Amino acid sequence: MTAPEADLAGWSVAPFSAAGYTHDVYRKGSGPGVVLIPELPGIHPGVLGLGNHLVDSGFTVAIPSLFGKPGRPVSMPYLVAAIGRACVAREFAAMTTDTQRPVAVYLRALARDLNASTPGLGVGVIGQCFTGGFALAAAVDDSVLAPVLSQPSVPFPLTAKQRRDPGLSAAELGVVADRCTDQGLCALGLRFSADKLSPGERFTTLKQRLGDAFEVIEIDSGPGNEHGFTRAAHSVLTDEVREVDGHPAYEARKRVVEFLTQRLT
């Protein structure tokens, strides 16, 4: 059994501009809005499989094409090239700590735009891997009621300081923390326990700052784990999902849908 995948069938596309950047945004579905930020190398078939699942679960999904070629399958050369380009892009500031990234401002504008055209109380934002922390940065905007951080990997965790960094600036995190206290905002974080690309120290920082408002799902990928995850297990909501009841990544995906439903309706 493999992870769910899909193609671009049924997705509409139009450019969206904000904060000095323009990206094509793929949209599909009806119901409350969810911004699904793709992982590297881009809107690959696994991301589209997750997008279709969210659509089937009753959401309007908007996927901004921040990098890569939409619909193209993942290959090692494609992934390496995408990582190289993303690492040097000022929009993402992949290496710096305590940073407000321009992409976060773009995503807040996209969230507001989606919120204005969908019926929910607000919108959800799901970030994955390279874009995982962008979801929480988007929650600076009041339109975002359900940020989901799946294996957030930026800044790349090469030093102890980078591993502890929450993936957004101290000022942005302060706004999010205030929203948690004053408005009841909650966030959901997902990672594999042995995933060095998405270090546990990052979730420790967020848990210390956000407390019970930050729900963590950590899937055991250590030696001898029950479900046979390797130490390379990384993509909780795409590559590692097997649609079998009791499978940890499948159950995590269920929890994401439940979290979005609870917060947006």
Residue (of 50, 205, 225) closest to 136 by Cα position:
205
What is the distance between the alpha carbons of residues 93 and 14, in angstroms, rounded to a whole number?
26
Q: Which CATH number does 12-264 carry?
A: 3.40.50.1820
pLDDT digits (tens, 9 = 90+) for 170-191: 999 999 999 999 999 999 999 9
pLDDT digits (tens, 9 = 90+) for 40-66: 999 999 999 999 999 999 999 999 999
Is residue 238 pLDDT above 90, yes or no? yes
Mean pLDDT of the chain: 97
pLDDT of 192 reads 98
pLDDT digits (tens, 9 = 90+) for 121-173: 999 999 999 999 999 999 999 999 999 999 999 999 999 999 999 999 999 99
What is the distance between the alpha carbons of residues 38 and 8, in angstroms, rounded to a whole number?
14
What is the distance between the alpha carbons of residues 252 and 265, in angstroms, rounded to a whole number?
20
| pTM of this structure | 0.97
Query: Quick one: 263 exposed, middle or buried, by C-beta within 10 A (0-12, 13-18, 19+)?
Result: buried
Q: Are 71 and 45 in contact (CB under 8 A)?
A: yes
How distant, in Å, are the alpha carbons of 16, 62, 67 from that of 113? 9, 10, 21
> What residue segments make up the domains of the chain, in order of their start?
12-264
pLDDT digits (tens, 9 = 90+) for 93-119: 999 999 999 999 999 999 999 999 999
What is the distance between the alpha carbons of residues 200 and 180, in angstroms, rounded to a whole number?
21
pLDDT of 1 reads 84
How would residue 26 be classed by pLDDT, with cut points 50, 70 and 90? Answer: very high
